[in-house]
Amino acid sequence: MKKLLILGAGTGGTLLANLLSRKLPHKEWEITVIDKSPEHHYQPGYLFLPFKLYGYNAKEDIVRPVREPLPHSAKFVQADVYLIDHKNRAVHTSAGNFDYDWLILGLGCRIAPEEVEGLEDAMNKNAHTFYTLEGALKMQEALENFQEGHLVLNIADMPIKCPVAPIEFVFLADYYFHLKNIRDRVQISLVTPLTGAFTKPVANETLHRVMDEKNIKVVPNFALESVDADNKVIKSYTGETVSYDLLCSIPPNLGPQVIEESGLGDGIGYAVTEDKTLKSKRAENTYVVGDCSNVHTSKAGSVTHFEAEIVSENLLREIAGKEPHPDYDGHSNCFIETGFHKAFLIDFNYDIEPVHGTFPIPGIGPMSLLENTYLNHWGKMAFKWVYWNLMLTGRLPGDPLLPIRMSMSGKKLDEIKQHGGH
Ligand SMILES: Cc1cc2nc3c(=O)[nH]c(=O)nc-3n(C[C@H](O)[C@H](O)[C@H](O)COP(=O)(O)OP(=O)(O)OC[C@H]3O[C@@H](n4cnc5c(N)ncnc54)[C@H](O)[C@@H]3O)c2cc1C
């Protein structure tokens, strides 16, 4: 019996277990999935919990048992992965050692508040993060008690997973305070190490316009050095300070320690990965999917989905004795909630930044790219059902409805030249 070992039963690990259990003959292949958590979280729901919006009120609204979306034919082991001994093709865990023929790393990333002076202390006082379930629920309580003052969202460092989530948070905060009739008593700021709200010029310009309309201040180029919870101040390495009454922190995001300690990482825990085949550059017979890879595209569920399809194809090719295809183009696709039941939709890859256009059918849509519409918002609302029923199970439609490799049709690519981009 040949052995496929999948580390992580999050978005990427679960999806690949489903895709490959349908393609690999059960009599020849044993698929084992290992994860330390008994739960699978729908992480996009962390964004809505602090505001109790759109039916996201409590833990039950986003959590399912980890076994539920996994295929019956795969074995699940709940264990902490301690070491990947790739030279001997074995993985050491709290439930013993597992050897493998092929390995998939889908271990996600983690927040590391301990990396910033004073941030852990602040997170017990007047700072919270919605990047964990626990943090999102604490933020819910803090917002319920917040009646006036300065709400500051600070991104400590890049990269972070779902880089649009902080932007969505400040937009939803604006909407939430309007609903509570206290918007005029609250200032909202987005304090970021980036040069603007978003990195890509065309989308950045559009998002800044909406920030201005909603009276949300953007403080760019702020590399966080420390947090002083007692005086409610964040300080940058250049000495700039911003005072807050309530801090929403996105702490540094690091890759899994086990990837680094096993010699597969880039120095901050992300697995060093070939950007087009998605193979590990450090270990044989190993593919990488999702947030734990160091490829230069967003860390997002949509990216994890597109990558998983490529990993599945390439792994099957290699098992059949063929070369993997260098096919992954960095495709990423995200909704950006703006409050008042509207959202943007962006679609981009390694080379092409988000521009205006229609999606998925060129010239028809029905979704609009880089436009703030009701339909995009309802697309995001539908994503939860799509996630549990189609995405994790590996049953999303591919071309032409949801192409794995980004389609250029329906996109106003000349906007990139106008902004001097490429
Ligand atoms: C607030 C927020 C909002 C988001 N919104 C969106 C969105 O709107 N759209 C979108 O596309 N994406 C969104 N994302 C991102 C998306 O959730 C992730 O990109 C996606 O889940 C990544 O999948 P993954 O499989 O790489 O990692 P994960 O799904 O995080 O899974 C990693 C798994 O590895 C396990 N693990 C880690 N270390 C170990 C270990 N040592 N031993 C055993 N198990 C281990 C963990 O328990 C976990 O189950 C959002 C994320 C956040 C935080």
Mean pLDDT value across the chain: 96
What's the half-sphere exposure (Cβ side, CA atoms, 13 Å) at 317?
A: 15
96 in the same domain as 156: no
* 172 alpha carbon, distance to own chain's centre: 18
56: Cβ–Cβ under 8 A, 6 or more apart, which residues? 45, 48, 49, 62
Residues at CB less than 6 angstroms from ligand 1: 8-13, 34-37, 43-44, 46-47, 80-81, 106-108, 130-131, 161-162, 165, 256, 258, 290-292, 299-302, 304, 334
Q: Rounded distance, CA 313 to CA 275, Å?
A: 15
Q: Rounded distance, CA 70 to CA 14, Å?
A: 6
Nearest CA to ligand 1 atom 36: 107
| pLDDT on residue 362 | 81
77 in the same domain as 36: yes
218 in the same domain as 155: yes
Confidence of residue 29 (pLDDT cuts 50, 70, 90): very high
Distance 259 CA to ligand 1 centre (A): 15
- State the closest ligand 1 atom to the C-alpha of 81, by its place in the atom list counted from 1: 42
In a domain, 48, yes or no: no
Residue where a domain terminates, one of 230, 253, 276? 253
170 in the same domain as 125: yes
Q: Rounded distance, CA 278 to CA 326, Å?
A: 8
**Strand-pair partners of 279:** 287
Nearest CA to ligand 1 atom 49: 10
What percentage of the chain reaches a pLDDT higher than 70? 99
Q: In terms of pLDDT, which residue wins out, 410 or 306? A: 306
In a domain, 59, yes or no: no
260 in the same domain as 230: no
Residue where a domain terminates, one of 290, 319, 348? 319
* 176-201 pLDDT tens trace: 999 999 999 999 999 999 999 988 88
Q: Which parts of 72-228 are beta strand (E)?
A: 75-78, 81-85, 90-93, 96-99, 102-105, 110-111, 127-128, 149-155, 186-191, 216-219, 224-228
CATH number at residue 304: 3.50.50.60
In a domain, 19, yes or no: yes
Q: Is pLDDT above 60 for 311?
A: yes
Nearest CA to ligand 1 atom 37: 107
150 in the same domain as 99: no
In a domain, 230, yes or no: yes
Q: Rounded distance, CA 115 to CA 222, Å?
A: 16
Distance 109 CA to ligand 1 centre (A): 7
In a domain, 203, yes or no: yes
Count CB atoms within 10 A of the CB of residue 401: 9
Nearest CA to ligand 1 atom 17: 43
Q: Rounded distance, CA 294 to CA 278, Å?
A: 10
Domains held by the chain: number: 3
18 in the same domain as 143: no
- 3-state SS, residue 228: strand
Q: Rounded distance, CA 335 to CA 313, Å?
A: 27
In a domain, 300, yes or no: yes
Confidence of residue 419 (pLDDT cuts 50, 70, 90): low
In a domain, 52, yes or no: no
259 in the same domain as 149: no
Among candidate residues 19, 12, 213, 191, the one with its CA nearest the CA of residue 105: 12
* 204-259 pLDDT tens trace: 999 999 999 999 999 999 999 999 999 999 999 999 999 999 999 999 999 999 99
200 in the same domain as 127: yes
Give me the domain span that covers residue 382: 332-418
72 in the same domain as 183: no
Instruction: Provide mean pLDDT across the span 95-103.
Output: 98
248 in the same domain as 312: no
| pLDDT on residue 235 | 98
Distance 284 CA to ligand 1 centre (A): 24
Confidence of residue 422 (pLDDT cuts 50, 70, 90): very low
Q: Is pLDDT above 60 for 270?
A: yes
102 in the same domain as 119: no
Q: Rounded distance, CA 369 to CA 397, Å?
A: 20
* 272-288 pLDDT tens trace: 999 999 999 999 999 99
- State the closest ligand 1 atom to the C-alpha of 66, by its place in the atom list counted from 1: 49
Our mutation pick for probing the ligand 1 site, out of 291, 305, 311, counting the most ligand atoms within 8 A of Cβ, is 291
| Residue 379 Cα distances to 63, 124, 333, 369, angstroms | 21, 36, 12, 12
Instruction: Provide mean pLDDT across the span 417-422.
Output: 62
Residue where a domain terminates, one of 286, 319, 352? 319
Our mutation pick for probing the ligand 1 site, out of 14, 19, 33, 162, counting the most ligand atoms within 8 A of Cβ, is 162
Q: Which parts of 141-258 are beta strand (E)?
A: 149-155, 186-191, 216-219, 224-228, 233-236, 241-243, 246-250, 253-254
Q: Rounded distance, CA 243 to CA 239, Å?
A: 13
Nearest CA to ligand 1 atom 15: 300
Instruction: Provide mean pLDDT across the span 111-131.
Output: 98
Distance 415 CA to ligand 1 centre (A): 33
| pLDDT on residue 365 | 84
In a domain, 214, yes or no: yes
Our mutation pick for probing the ligand 1 site, out of 11, 19, 134, 289, counting the most ligand atoms within 8 A of Cβ, is 11
Edge-first strand order for the sheet with 241-243 is 224-228, 233-236, 241-243
